[in-house]
Amino acid sequence: MHTVYNGIDLASWAPVHDDELVRSLGVDPSRPSVVFVGRITRQKGLPYLLRAAALLPADVQMVLCAGAPDTPQIMEEVTALVRGLQEERSGVVWIDRLLPRRELSAVLTAGTVFVCPSVYEPLGIVNLEAMACGAPVVGTATGGIPEVVDDGVTGRLVPIDQATDGTGTPTDPERFVRDLAAALTEVVADPDAARRMGEAGRVRAEREFGWDRIARQTEAIYASILR
């Protein structure tokens, strides 16, 4: 059996350094920031992230590029959690529209760390996009995320024990929230290490997940079958 991963266009996803653009979106590039990008669904784990955000150092921004809720209930929950955070701390930025690629790349590039708190994720293309933009990734150690994030090299993996009913729900949600907050705090506390992990992530994306490599792998598999 052969595994061929999905890939990304590395020419389209690359660092974009544009502080003025980032500021226009409400993000302060001079402050550390945690960036989330994804749909508002149970699988993406956003409510856990918002609870973890309350445990982060006060100077850390939480930048949410999040929309397209799949149920009214989760939208209400996320809205309440975001409002609660905004009452407690500054720098909670919620962008609920689909950003053009250049704008999103600029946000990812300006971010100190990208976070993927998913409880279900077959691979996580968004993690590859963040890595391609030079962002270290803190992600849940579930699904295909550990195949993308090299723990301690391109980011950090957050351990999780999950229910076996198909939902992926953490068996100990409070522990998962604490562990997520701890991993994020570790990364933002050391900007030099975060930058090195981000650079390593870009290299890994180029080496393992560019479409040229994916095409060569696929071609080699077919060639071996036809011999």
CATH number at residue 85: 3.40.50.2000
Give yes or no for a contact between 1 and 201, defined as CB atoms under 8 angstroms apart: no
pLDDT beneath 70, residues of the chain: none
**In the prediction, which pLDDT does 167 show?**
92
Domain hosting residue 147, numbered range? 19-226
Residue 143 is predicted with a pLDDT of 96
User: 160 in a domain, yes or no?
Assistant: yes
Q: Residue 3: its pLDDT value, please?
A: 82
46 in Cβ contact with 36 (< 8 Å):
yes
Phi, then psi, of 148 in degrees rounded to 5 = -105, -50
What pLDDT does 190 receive?
98
Answer whether 105's CB lies under 8 Å from 133's CB: yes
Q: Tens digits of per-residue pLDDT, 108-121?
A: 999 999 999 999 99
Q: Tell me what pLDDT residue 225 has.
A: 85
45 in any annotated domain = yes
Task: State how far the alpha carbon of 37 is from the alpha carbons of 62, 161, 186, in Å.
Answer: 11, 23, 20
Distance CA(189)–CA(193), nearest Å, equals 9
Q: Which residues pair with 36 in a beta bridge?
A: 64
In the prediction, which pLDDT does 52 show?
Answer: 99
Domain assignment of residue 13, yes or no? no
Domains held by the chain: number: 1
Q: What is the pLDDT of residue 24?
A: 98
φ/ψ bin of 35: left (φ > 0), alpha (ψ from -120 to 50), beta (otherwise): beta
CA gap 69, 82 in Å, rounded: 14
Give the pLDDT confidence score for residue 217 in this predicted structure. Answer: 82
Considering the domain boundaries, does residue 12 fall inside one? Answer: no
